[in-house]
């Protein structure tokens, strides 16, 4: 099993859920209001007057065999509108109950 943390501009929410549905990735945790900025070129997403956009995050645990296809789909979504901002981070899940 792998854990995936996806941070993204809130505008991507429906598209990401659609990608998950098409891959039978069901369970997730969603944070609606996440603030931050990209490490290289991203503009801040603080939800303020000066930087009004906001980020969100989804945390999902999936079977290892689904990770590559899902990350590829997320990357394709990201490069369609790079200025929006989308990142995914993957790590091993050792155990869960």
Q: For the whole model, what pTM was predicted?
A: 0.88
Residue 39 to residues 66, 80, 87, Cα–Cα distance (Å): 27, 19, 10
**Residue 31 pLDDT:** 97
Residue 23's pLDDT is 97
Q: How far is CA 57 from CA 11, 54, 95, 97, in A?
A: 12, 10, 22, 23
> How do residues 22-76 score in pLDDT, each as one tens digit?
999 999 999 998 877 776 766 666 667 776 678 899 999 999 999 999 999 999 9
- pLDDT in the model for residue 81: 82
Q: Report the chain's terminal Cα–Cα distance, integer Å.
A: 13
Sign of CA dihedral 33, 37, 84, 26: negative
Kindly state the tokens that stand for 28: 């997730």
What pLDDT score does 53 carry? 79
CATH architecture assignment, domain 2-92: 2-Layer Sandwich (3.30)
Whether 90 and 4 have beta carbons less than 8 Å apart is answered as: yes
């Amino acid at each position: 099993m792998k854990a995936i943390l996806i941070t993204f501009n809130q505008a991507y929410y429906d598209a990401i859920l659609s990608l998950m549905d098409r891959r039978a990735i069901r369970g997730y945790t969603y944070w609606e209001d996440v603030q931050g900025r990209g490490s290289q070129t991203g503009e801040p997403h603080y939800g303020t007057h000066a930087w009004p956009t906001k980020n969100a995050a989804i945390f999902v645990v999936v079977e290892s065999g689904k990770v590559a296809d899902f990350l590829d789909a997320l990357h394709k979504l990201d490069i369609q509108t790079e200025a929006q901002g989308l990142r995914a981070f993957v790590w091993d899940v050792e155990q869960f109950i």
